[in-house]
């Protein structure tokens, strides 16, 4: 009887409990609650199969299991059952036992199952395995084919039951804490072993292979351990039948053994995140002709990437990033025509992007970032219709943005930042499915016309540090999924478009260092991702961590606490901020700022804002950085701001504020005079004492609106006449005395040079200095 993913009627098990002839009962995913004691199945003593997995059963195992001597297959996985498993020790007919994902406490000797002589498959992942205080003198009567004890906690050592097994074919022991060396005795004792998974199991020391070649082992995973030794030079001879080998995230060093080339059946090889050095053995690239995936990322490999002889014609994924490979991208890679993922980033590759890459019609992910590649971005890339991710940031690429990219309809990620790409962005470039665009730190110019206007899946748009002009386009309000908008350090002008207020998922807005004018839209808002639906948070997180085929963390720069920081990956989901600094914004700070409740950073400095600081700032309980400096704000600093307990950077310097500074307590006791400098009418800690300060603003003399003490017309006439007389006097003296004339011109030349270098060092990069304040 099979009832799956359906809620049975009340007392269903009690009704069938009177039917002892039932031999199979499957109730997986039926929403069963309560304990096994109350389910009413104890009368089904003739059962051979019982499956109650994926329910909400709790409590311990009932003693009636003693009567199920005919049971051959028992599955209680994915419940909330607990206690010991001694109630199962009489199931002498049991062949397969599944107890995974519960709270059972199981002895490492598996002593309760010693008499189950027919037991072949045992699954107990995600339970607690413990070492008994006294070792069991007897050996079990069973010989397992499969044992799976992954994620069972701080076991401390390999279960002793394994020393008595000689017919194992599959062993899964990952995510444990064994603190032992590689169990080569498992291979010596089990000649038929096919799969051995020991990932993330706190294994350490040397990696020693079995004495004799093991010809049946096809799958070996020892990733994320602490092996610190050379890779065995005879690994290919000892394990010739491997089709999958993962030794990543260890501390292996030395060179890659050429004997790996003897593994003719090897399909996937991952040696990434170690300390391997030297080059890539030619015997590997010729002998492992079955390889479909090769990952050697984040090692110390160097020299030419490949020799001229490569026989990896079945290769689909190649990760060689994070090494010291140099020279050009090798032409021998052109034989790998089925590549779908090519990651050569973070090396020292030079030269141009080779033309043969155009023939890789299956390529969907290309990452060449952080190299020294030069030349134009190839126009033929626009014909590679399967491309979904192009990452070529931080190179020396130049020339215009290819108009042919308009044909890349499946593009999801584009990162060409930190290059020398010039010209305009073509208005036809608006991929429907693109989610990330990073074009910062290039030489792009012109206005944003219709580019990206149909890219409604955009989450990140980073066009910062270019020479873009014109107004921020209104179509930006159609990008309903946009979370990160960075247009800073360009030449945009006009007002901040009111259409930004339509974007309900914005987390980060950086429009700083432009020529924007007008007022701050009162409706402008940002929404921290933890306020949005969890479905959208997962959507953004997936994009930030793994856009599709492999993990890419694209950094975003944002100025916080007067310094520029780089954020990427999961951190972006916690970042929320607005930076409108270094523009020409006017008007008052809108009182609606109180709606930015979960904002992390707000920078409105270096504008022409007037009026008081809104007391509503006290509602921003999550804010850590607040910069209102270099404006024309007036009035008093709201004393309520002392309630911003997370505030770690605060500046209202160079305004027209008056009165007393906020109480020198809590976070405000950490702010020094630099937070208030340039406000002569301010007093109080950490400035001068208010009791000894000068007269208040109300007592200062007002400017006269009638005839003043000085006749301004007479003043201007006298000043001009005196200035002309002084110039003529100097000219006469220099004309009469040649020695003084020569000294004068020498002095003028020196002053000119000083002024030139002062302008070059201080005035010309004013935009940059504005951003660094």
pTM over 0.85: no
Q: Give mean pLDDT, residues 524-538.
A: 61
- Beta-carbon contacts of 12 under 8 Å, excluding residues fewer than 6 positions away, are none
Which residues are within 8 A (CB) of 386 and not within 5 positions of it... i.e. 6 or more apart? 340, 361, 362, 363, 364, 410
Q: List pLDDT tens digits, range 251-299.
A: 999 999 999 999 999 999 999 999 999 999 999 999 999 999 999 999 9
Kindly state the average pLDDT of the residues 587-594. 92
For residues 298 and 265, give the distance between their C-alpha atoms in angstroms, rounded to a whole number. 25
The answer, yes or no, to whether residue 341 has pLDDT greater than 50, is yes
Distance CA 513, CA 770 (A): 8
Q: What is the pLDDT of residue 18?
A: 56
Q: What number is the average pLDDT over the span 717-725?
A: 73
* Region 662-682 average pLDDT: 92
pLDDT-based confidence at residue 19 (cuts at 50, 70, 90)? low
Q: Is the pLDDT of residue 639 over 70?
A: yes
Q: Which two tokens stand for residue 69?
A: 């001597």
Query: Taking 90 as the threshold, does the pLDDT of residue 20 lie above it?
Result: no
Confidence of residue 495 (pLDDT cuts 50, 70, 90): very high
Determine contact, residues 272/319, Cβ cutoff 8 Å: yes
DSSP single-letter state for residue 335: G
Radius of gyration of the chain measured on its C-alpha atoms: 36
How is 62-89 classified by DSSP, letter by letter? Answer: PGGGGG-TT--EEE--SSEEEE--GGGT
Q: Say yes or no to pLDDT of 486 above 60.
A: yes
With beta carbons less than 8 A apart as the criterion, state whether 261 and 240 touch.
no
Quick check: 543 pLDDT over 70? no
| Local confidence band at 704 (pLDDT 50, 70, 90 cut-offs) | very low
Quick check: 326 and 303 in contact, CB under 8 A? Answer: yes
Q: Please give the pLDDT value at position 83.
A: 94
Q: Which residue has the higher pLDDT, 709 or 539?
A: 539
Nearest CA among 448, 494, 495 for reference residue 467? 448
Q: Out of 225-239, 489-503, 524-538, 596-610, which region has the weakest mean confidence (pLDDT)?
A: 524-538
Q: Which residue has the higher pLDDT, 552 or 88?
A: 88
C-beta atoms surrounding 220 within 10 Å: 21
Cβ atoms within 10 Å of 541's Cβ, excluding its own: 16
Give the Å distances, CA to CA, from 629 to 421, 581, 608, 609, 654: 35, 9, 10, 10, 6
* Cα torsion angle, 82, 83, 87, 88, sign: positive
Distance (Å, whole) CA 29 – CA 6: 7
The pLDDT, as a whole number, for residue 552 is: 41
pLDDT-based confidence at residue 532 (cuts at 50, 70, 90): low
Identity of the highest mean pLDDT range in 45-49, 58-62, 579-583, 669-673 = 579-583
Provide the 10 A C-beta neighbour count for residue 460: 24
Q: How far is CA 301 from the centre of its chain?
A: 25
pLDDT computed for residue 546 by the predictor: 43
Structural domains of the chain, ranges and CATH numbers in brackets: 363-585 (3.80.10.10)
**Beta carbons within 8 Å of 81's beta carbon, 6+ residues apart:** 36, 57, 58, 59, 60, 61, 99, 102, 103, 104
pLDDT of 370 strictly over 50? yes
pLDDT in tens, 403-422: 999 999 999 999 999 999 99
Q: Which residues contact 43 (CB under 8 A, 6 or more apart)?
A: 17, 18, 20
Q: Please give the backbone phi and psi of residue 354, each rounded to the nearest 5 degrees, phi first.
A: -70, 150
Neighbour tally for 166: CB within 10 Å? 12
Q: Which residue has the higher pLDDT, 729 or 551?
A: 729
pLDDT digits (tens, 9 = 90+) for 571-583: 666 788 999 999 9
| Bridge pairing between strands 563-567 and 610-611 | unpaired
- Beta strand spans in 511-616 (E): 515-518, 556-560, 563-567, 577-579, 584-585, 601-603, 610-611
**In the predicted structure, residue 652 carries a pLDDT above the cut 80:** yes
Q: Is 515 helix (H, G, I), strand (E, B) or coil?
A: strand
Residue 696 has pLDDT above 70, yes or no: no
Q: Alpha-carbon torsion 736, 737, 740, 744, what sign?
A: positive
User: What is the pLDDT of the chain when averaged over all its residues?
Assistant: 86
User: CB of 64 within 8 A of CB of 44?
Assistant: no
Instruction: Decide if pLDDT at 698 tops 50.
Output: no
């Amino acid at each position: 009887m099979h009832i799956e993913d359906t809620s049975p009627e009340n007392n269903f098990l009690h009704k069938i409990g009177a039917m002892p002839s039932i031999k199979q009962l499957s109730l997986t995913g039926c929403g069963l609650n309560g304990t096994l004691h109350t389910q009413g199945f104890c009368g089904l003593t003739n059962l051979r199969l019982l499956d109650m997995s994926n329910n909400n059963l709790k409590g311990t195992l009932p003693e009636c299991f003693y009567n199920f001597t005919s049971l051959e297959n028992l599955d209680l996985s994915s419940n909330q059952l607990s206690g010991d498993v001694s109630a199962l020790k009489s199931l002498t007919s049991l062949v397969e036992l599944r107890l995974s994902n519960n709270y059972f406490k199981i002895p490492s000797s598996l002593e309760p199952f010693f008499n189950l002589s027919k037991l072949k498959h045992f699954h107990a992942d995600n339970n607690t395995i413990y070492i008994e205080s006294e070792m069991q003198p007897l050996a079990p009567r069973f010989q397992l084919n499969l044992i799976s004890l992954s994620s069972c906690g701080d076991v401390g050592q390999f279960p002793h039951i394994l020393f008595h097994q000689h017919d194992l074919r599959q062993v899964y022991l990952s995510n444990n804490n064994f603190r032992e060396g590689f169990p080569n005795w498992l291979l010596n004792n089990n000649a038929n072993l096919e799969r051995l998974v020991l990932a993330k199991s706190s294994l350490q020391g040397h990696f020693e292979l079995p004495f004799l070649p093991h010809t049946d082992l096809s799958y070996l995973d020892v990733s994320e351990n602490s092996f610190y030794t050379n890779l065995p030079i005879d690994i290919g001879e000892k394990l010739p039948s491997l089709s999958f080998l993962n030794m990543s995230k260890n501390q292996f060093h030395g060179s890659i053994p050429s004997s790996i080339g003897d593994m003719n059946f090897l399909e996937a090889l991952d040696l990434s995140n170690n300390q391997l050095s030297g080059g890539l053995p030619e015997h590997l690239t010729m002998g492992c002709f079955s390889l479909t995936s090769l990952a050697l990322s984040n090692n110390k490999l160097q020299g030419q990437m490949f020799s001229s002889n490569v026989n990896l014609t079945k290769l689909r994924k190649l990760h060689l990033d994070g090494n010291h490979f140099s020279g050009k991208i090798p032409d021998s890679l052109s034989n790998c025509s089925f590549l779908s993922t090519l990651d050569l980033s973070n090396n020292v590759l030079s030269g141009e992007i080779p033309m043969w890459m155009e023939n890789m019609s299956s390529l969907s992910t290309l990452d060449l970032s952080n190299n020294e590649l030069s030349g134009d971005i190839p126009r033929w890339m626009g014909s590679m219709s399967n491309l979904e991710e192009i990452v070529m940031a931080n190179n020396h690429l130049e020339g215009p943005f290819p108009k042919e990219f308009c044909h890349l309809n499946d593009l999801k990620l584009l990162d060409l930042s930190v290059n020398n790409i010039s010209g305009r962005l073509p208005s036809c470039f608006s991929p429907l499915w693109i989610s990330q665009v990073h074009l910062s730190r290039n030489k792009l110019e012109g206005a944003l016309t219709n580019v990206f206007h149909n890219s409604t899946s955009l989450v990140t748009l980073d066009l910062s540090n270019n020479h873009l002009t014109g107004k921020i386009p209104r179509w930006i309000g159609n990008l309903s999924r946009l979370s990160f908008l960075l247009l800073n350090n360009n030449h945009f002008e006009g007002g901040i478009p009111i259409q930004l207020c339509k974007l309900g998922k914005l987390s980060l807005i950086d429009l700083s260092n432009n020529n924007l004018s007008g007022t701050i839209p009162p409706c402008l808002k940002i929404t921290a991702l933890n306020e949005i639906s969890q479905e959208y948070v997962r959507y953004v997180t997936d994009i930030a961590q793994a856009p599709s085929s492999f993990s890419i963390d694209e950094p975003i720069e944002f100025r916080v606490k007067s310094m520029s920081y780089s954020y990427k990956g999961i951190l972006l989901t916690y970042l929320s901020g607005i930076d409108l600094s270094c523009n020409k914004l006017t008007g008052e700070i809108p009182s609606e700022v109180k709606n930015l409740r979960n904002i992390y950073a707000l920078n409105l400095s270096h504008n022409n804002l007037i009026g008081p600081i809104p007391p509503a700032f006290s509602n921003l309980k999550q804010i850590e950085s607040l910069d209102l400096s270099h404006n024309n704000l007036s009035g008093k600093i709201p004393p309520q701001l002392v309630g911003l307990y997370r505030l770690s950077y605060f500046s209202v310097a160079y305004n027209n504020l008056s009165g007393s500074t906020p109480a020198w307590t809590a976070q405000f006791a950490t702010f020094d005079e630099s937070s208030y400098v340039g406000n002569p009418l301010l007093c109080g800690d950490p400035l001068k004492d208010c009791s000894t300060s000068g007269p208040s603003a109300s007592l200062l003399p007002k400017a006269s609106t009638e005839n003043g003490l000085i006749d301004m017309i007479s003043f201007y006439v006298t000043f001009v006449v005196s200035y002309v007389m002084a110039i003529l006097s100097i000219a006469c003296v220099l004309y009469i005395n040649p020695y003084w004339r020569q000294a004068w011109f020498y002095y003028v030349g020196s002053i000119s040079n000083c002024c030139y270098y002062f302008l070059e060092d201080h005035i010309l990069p004013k935009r940059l200095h504005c951003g660094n304040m």
